Amino acid sequence: MGGNSRFNALRKRFERRFDEDADPSMSPMSPARHDQKSPFFLLPTELRLKIYSQLMPKLDRVTAIVPLNGDSERVVTEAGHSKRRPRDTTQINIMLTCRDVYEEALDTLFTNTTYKFGSPKVMYLFLRHIGEHGRRLLKAVDVICGTREDAIAFALLGACPKLRTITIRLPRPMLLTPRPTLWQVDGIACLLNLSGLQDVHLAECNPTTRHLGDNPHDAMVVKRELTRPKNERSSIRWVSGGMDVS
């Protein structure tokens, strides 16, 4: 199975899972979503968002996400991990009020925040953790990639319709090594199937390691593919595990 086919299979599996849980009548754009009896929902949207911003945790413009404990599947912000302490039960947890408040308040966590990940595995766990609504809101990520989890992480990232900015930190100066492994091919195929982005950045993992940005040709391929319109077909074909760039 070619790289594109594997990506599409992964993506369809994720979207099918989302569709099973989704109720069209509860779409954020649906009037039924805000058909609430609580006087709180009679307040202007701007005022509600102001209230959320006062009660929600303050995130840095670039917020690193890390595993809670070593191999744990739970993830937290790096700042939260370094300041772990017993929960203050005197504080209002606005996110637990009701589902409508949860989804409105969640928007404040994604508006101007870039989420940074030390591996595709952590990004995948984060994308699962924030759920379908969070994935609909995610706008920017920064990720170190180049591991076996690349394919599943980028496939799930492809289900984030508002994603506009990505920083890719691949610790090698080419998309594929001369004799790439299957997981390497799958990972790059899923990465290059992302589209509709506005800003694509290639950055180093550390000052001593060469990275994808050191290769002008492959860097151009990545930026071209990821910024193409969402409904435009990719110019890359996969032949016997090799990448044919037209």
- With the CA atoms of 97, 100, 102 and 103 taken in that order, what torsion angle do they form, in degrees rounded to the nearest 10? 180
Instruction: Please tell me the pTM assigned to this model.
Output: 0.78
Decide the pairing of beta strands 75-77 and 62-67: antiparallel
Distance between CA atoms of 74 and 69, rounded to whole angstroms?
A: 8
Could you give the percent of the chain with pLDDT greater than 90?
48
pLDDT in tens, 192-238: 999 999 999 999 998 898 999 999 999 999 999 999 999 899 988 88
pLDDT-derived band at 91 (thresholds 50, 70, 90) equals: low
Higher pLDDT, 92 or 23: 92
Which residues are CB-neighbours of 117 under 8 A, at least 6 positions away?
A: 64, 65, 123, 126, 141, 142, 143, 144
Render pLDDT for 119-178 as a digit per residue (tens, 0 to 9).
Answer: 999 999 999 999 998 999 999 999 999 999 999 999 999 999 999 999 999 999 999 999
Other residues' Cβ atoms within 10 Å of the Cβ of residue 135: 21
What token pair was written down for 221?
A: 């391929």
Please tell me the predicted confidence (pLDDT) of residue 24.
Answer: 40
Is residue 26 over pLDDT 50?
no
Contacts 24+ apart (CB under 8 A), 178-182: 180/241, 182/241
DSSP string for 52-66: HHHHSPP--SEEEEE
pLDDT value of position 150: 98
What is the overall mean pLDDT for the chain?
A: 82
**Average pLDDT of the segment spanning 14-20:** 51
Most confident of 16-30, 104-118, 136-150: 136-150
